Amino acid sequence: MRIWETDVFKAINRNMSWMWSGLFAASLVTAAIPGLFLPQAGWPTDIAFQVALPSVLMLESSCASIKNTLPIINVGWALKTIH
């Protein structure tokens, strides 16, 4: 049996897909804030909302998902190498 046919892999893949969908939706909302609510704010606000905040969302969620997923698939030793 291949790894991607196992129930554990499918569950992890499903959860990760939902996480990434939520992240992209949150990034879309975050990037739209300057255009919708702060049209005269200028480029620093645009950079903060369209680049910095979505990047922080992606990086923070990626790190959290790695910490939460790795022990499930029995490679908890990898966490020690990440830190």
The predicted-structure confidence for 8-60, as pLDDT tens digits, reads as follows 888 888 988 998 898 889 889 988 888 888 888 888 888 888 888 888 888 88
All residues at 6 or more sequence positions from 41 whose CB lies less than 8 Å from its CB, including other chains: 34
Does the structure show a pLDDT above 50 at 7? yes
pTM of the model: 0.62
pLDDT of residue 57: 84
Does the structure show a pLDDT above 70 at 76? no
Return d(Cα 27, Cα 30) in angstroms, integer: 5
b (16+ CB within 10 A) / e for 41-54: eeeeeeeebbeebb
Return d(Cα 22, Cα 25) in angstroms, integer: 5
Nearest Cα to Cα of residue 82 among 63, 61, 59: 63
